[in-house]
Copies of this chain bind each other. A is one copy, B any other.
Amino acid sequence: MPTLRLALAQMNPVVGDIDGNLEAVVERAHAARAAGAHVLVTPEMVLNGYPIEDLAYRATFIAASRAAVERLAARLADEGLGDLVVIVGHLDTAKTGALASLPDRLGVPKNAPTNSASVITGGKIVARYDKHHLPNYGVFDEFRHFTPGDETQIVQVGGVDVAVAICEDIWQDGPSAAADAAEAGLLVVLNGSPYEAAKDDVRLDLCARRAREGQCALAYVNLVGGQDELVFDGDTIVVDSGGELIARSPQFEEDLLVLDLDLPAATASMPAPGTRFHGLRVERTVVSAEPFPEPAERLLPKVAERWDDLGERYQALVLGLRDYVRKNGFSSVLMGLSGGIDSTLVGAIAVDALGADRVFGVSNPSAWSTEHSKSDAVELARRTGLALDTVAIASVFDAYQELLHLDGLAEENLQARVRAVIWMGLSNQHGHLVLACGNKSELATGYSTIYGDAVGGYAPIKDVPKTLVWELSRWRNAWAERRGETPPIPENAIAKPPSAELRPGQLDTDSLPPYEVLDAVLDAYVERDLGAAEVVAEGFDPALVERVVTLVDRAEYKRRQYPPGPKISRRNFGRDRRVPITTRWRESL
């Protein structure tokens, strides 16, 4: 069996930074060469970043992408890397006639570009694969942006037939990537697969199934890094033709995974070029028909340890925040620290993401603030080293009330907004990015003040239900203890009953059901999209379900103006869930 040495580059590109992303690929090519690799594979759309959304409509961006692939091919040859086979993801112009095989009535956009993988070697682009399956659900709008491909690409390298696919291609059933690979020795898959809790298990199962179906090894290379609401977790994996895991990159960091694979030699039984195979046109390219010399020393495949369930969610939040700050050119963040568990957890995440010297907390006590709300914020600052400033709101609040004489909810909201104006003023003065500290349970039910605690450029825990806020806080402290470090989160912030402290003695449970119940109902209604009657059938009180569902439906206007934050669940509040503000649909029981 011929042996291929593969280098799989788990990379963190920046959307739109074509030059910077290209340099990063060149750098990985040097590293791959240094490690003796024959083939380097990048993630999906690595030259452009992902997702590019409506930048796909800009002719200038498409042209720049096309030029970049050609420039990359020349650069690699110039730098003595011409022998390496580089399979790189990028935006490109559609091939002529690409739409010919599609029913016209589907309205595939005309002149749309392609989501492509080019095979580069010897200073030239020798083959190009265009993604077939365009996901158009959840957070994805690919049918809006891309022309689907209808060709299978098989590239022979070192005597092994290598098939190429992109992300969604292996998630769909039917005549697709798995079938493409049926006669190949290796299927490489370029991915831009965003993190969701427990998705790594799903991905590994999927890769194993496709490998067994195709009876070929499968190398799955994923992006890593944050991009607006998405976090890519990496988790690049290789499985053998029996579906067994051979190698794995760590989650949430860049990596170059290099390994030797013994693969079956190409046979003459492959479908001939130009023929149709499972409805797709087969293209074949021979780069090198002779096996490479056996490597002097076999590389032992590395299988990185994974984070546990809570750990991976926490790390996703850290990476999402770090990349939003970094990629948007900020150097510091500011948040209101109420002493409550939400802002305390955000403070801990921010310190982990950026370092304590870039994190600024503001405590804004009011007449209704408890003593522990102030002391818990001080304790967080002491443990983590973040900077804490205190600005009492009474004088401003009183000045407003002399003008407005608000009461009830209006008076409660006023306190939250007085604080927000202070944070935004400090942000404008000092250039900090303001973080909104609301959790998913609040966002779902509208239990927050718009233009008050909801202000911010980024919302690190907007996809974290309250019960998970507590779990992650405990996990973070336990992680510190395991490493012999100070647990960052004051125990009292975890233990005390949650309160907005906008009136004397107020508790969240005055307005909401207990969070254990609320979060279970929200999981059913929001994440699993069940009807109210189905939620009740899961064992919840009908009146409570009706109340929660109504709260969710009526709070859409607030969510629409909420800052972006990292998606970690099956369905976050963002592009994942697009519902009308104006609707009279109410689930009946």
Interface on A for B, CB 8 Å cutoff? 14-18, 20, 49, 51-55, 57-61, 101-107, 109, 132-137, 141, 143-144, 148, 150, 168-169, 172-176, 226-228, 279, 323-324, 327-328, 391-392, 395-396, 398-400, 402-404, 406-410, 413-414, 417-418, 420-422, 424-426, 428-429, 450-451, 455, 457, 529, 531-534, 557, 560-564, 577-587
Q: Is the CB of B403 within 8 A of A391?
A: yes
Say how far A58's CB is from chain B's closest CB, in angstroms: 6
Q: Which residues of B contact A577 (CB under 8 A)?
A: 54
Q: Is the CB of B136 within 8 A of A143?
A: yes
Q: Which residues of B contact A134 (CB under 8 A)?
A: 106-107
Q: Is the CB of A279 within 8 A of B103?
A: yes
CB-based nearest B residue for A329: B584
Known: A51-B580, A560-B564. A172 touches B107 (CB 8 A): yes
Known: A279-B103, A406-B425. A58 touches B557 (CB 8 A): no
Q: Is the CB of A395 within 8 A of B403?
A: yes
> Besides the contacts A14-B582, A102-B103, what 8 more A-B pairs have beta carbons closer than 8 Å?
A16-B586, A55-B580, A136-B143, A391-B404, A404-B425, A413-B428, A421-B451, A561-B563
Say how far A560's CB is from chain B's closest CB, in angstroms: 7
Q: How many copies of this chain?
A: 2
Q: Which residues of B contact A150 (CB under 8 A)?
A: 105
Q: Which residues of B contact A227 (CB under 8 A)?
A: 580, 582
Q: Is the CB of A104 within 8 A of B176?
A: yes
Q: Within the assembled complex, what's the spacing in Å between the Cα atoms of A228 and B580?
A: 7
Q: Is the CB of B426 within 8 A of A15?
A: no
**Residue in A20, A51, A529 with the greatest tally of chain B CB atoms within 10 Å:** A529
Q: Within the assembled complex, what's the spacing in Å between the Cα atoms of A272 and B16?
A: 54
Q: Is the CB of A425 within 8 A of B396?
A: no
Q: Is the CB of A451 within 8 A of B53?
A: no
Q: Is the CB of B175 within 8 A of A104?
A: yes
Q: Within the assembled complex, what's the spacing in Å between the Cα atoms of A16 and B17?
A: 43
**Residue in A15, A426, A533, A581 with the greatest tally of chain B CB atoms within 10 Å:** A581
Q: Is the CB of A60 within 8 A of B414?
A: no
Say how far A513's CB is from chain B's closest CB, in angstroms: 22
Q: Which residues of B contact A176 (CB under 8 A)?
A: 104-105
Q: Which residues of B contact A406 (CB under 8 A)?
A: 425, 428-429
Q: Pick the residue among B61, B399, B422, B531 that contacts A585 (CB under 8 A).
A: B61
**Residue in A417, A429, A582, A584 with the greatest tally of chain B CB atoms within 10 Å:** A582
Q: Within the assembled complex, what's the spacing in Å between the Cα atoms of A423 and B583?
A: 25
CB-based nearest B residue for A563: B561
> Can you report 19 A-B residue pairs in the complex whose CB atoms are below 8 A from each other?
A15-B582, A15-B584, A16-B580, A16-B585, A20-B584, A52-B580, A58-B531, A58-B585, A104-B174, A106-B134, A141-B144, A226-B582, A324-B582, A391-B404, A399-B399, A400-B421, A413-B424, A417-B421, A451-B455
Q: Is the CB of A148 within 8 A of B106?
A: yes
**Residue in A52, A413, A560, A561 with the greatest tally of chain B CB atoms within 10 Å:** A561
Q: Which residues of B contact A16 (CB under 8 A)?
A: 580, 583-586
Q: Within the assembled complex, what's the spacing in Å between the Cα atoms of A327 and B101?
A: 44
Q: Which residues of B contact A53 (CB under 8 A)?
A: 578-580
CB-based nearest B residue for A174: B104
Q: Is the CB of A14 within 8 A of B58?
A: no
Q: Pick the residue among B410, B534, B563, B584 that contacts A428 (CB under 8 A).
A: B410
Q: Is the CB of B404 within 8 A of A429?
A: yes
Q: Is the CB of B172 within 8 A of A104?
A: yes
Say how far A56's CB is from chain B's closest CB, in angstroms: 10
CB-based nearest B residue for A328: B582
Q: Is the CB of A422 within 8 A of B451?
A: no
Q: Is the CB of B15 within 8 A of A585?
A: yes
Q: Within the assembled complex, what's the spacing in Å between the Cα atoms of A75 and B564?
A: 47
Q: Within the assembled complex, what's the spacing in Å between the Cα atoms of A557 and B427?
A: 15
Q: Is the CB of A103 within 8 A of B101?
A: yes
Q: Which residues of B contact A106 (CB under 8 A)?
A: 102, 106, 133-134, 143, 148
Q: Within the assembled complex, what's the spacing in Å between the Cα atoms of A323 and B398?
A: 37
Q: Within the assembled complex, what's the spacing in Å between the Cα atoms of A451 and B59?
A: 35
Q: Is the CB of A579 within 8 A of B172?
A: no
Q: Is the CB of B55 within 8 A of A585?
A: yes
Q: Is the CB of B137 within 8 A of A109?
A: yes
Q: Which residues of B contact A457 (CB under 8 A)?
A: 557
Q: Pick the residue among B18, B407, B564 that contacts A581 (CB under 8 A).
A: B564
Q: Is the CB of B60 within 8 A of A531?
A: yes
Say how far A402's CB is from chain B's closest CB, in angstroms: 7
Q: Within the assembled complex, what's the spacing in Å between the Cα atoms of A53 and B244?
A: 41
Say how far A206's CB is from chain B's closest CB, in angstroms: 15
Known: A54-B577, A396-B403. A132 touches B105 (CB 8 A): yes
Q: Within the assembled complex, what's the spacing in Å between the Cα atoms of A585 and B14?
A: 9
Q: Within the assembled complex, what's the spacing in Å between the Cα atoms of A532 and B63?
A: 13
**Residue in A105, A400, A409, A455 with the greatest tally of chain B CB atoms within 10 Å:** A105
Q: Which residues of B contact A579 (CB under 8 A)?
A: 53-55
Q: Within the assembled complex, what's the spacing in Å between the Cα atoms of A577 and B57?
A: 10
Known: A54-B579, A531-B60, A584-B17. A409 touches B428 (CB 8 A): yes
Q: Which residues of B contact A101 (CB under 8 A)?
A: 103
Q: Within the assembled complex, what's the spacing in Å between the Cα atoms of A58 and B580?
A: 13
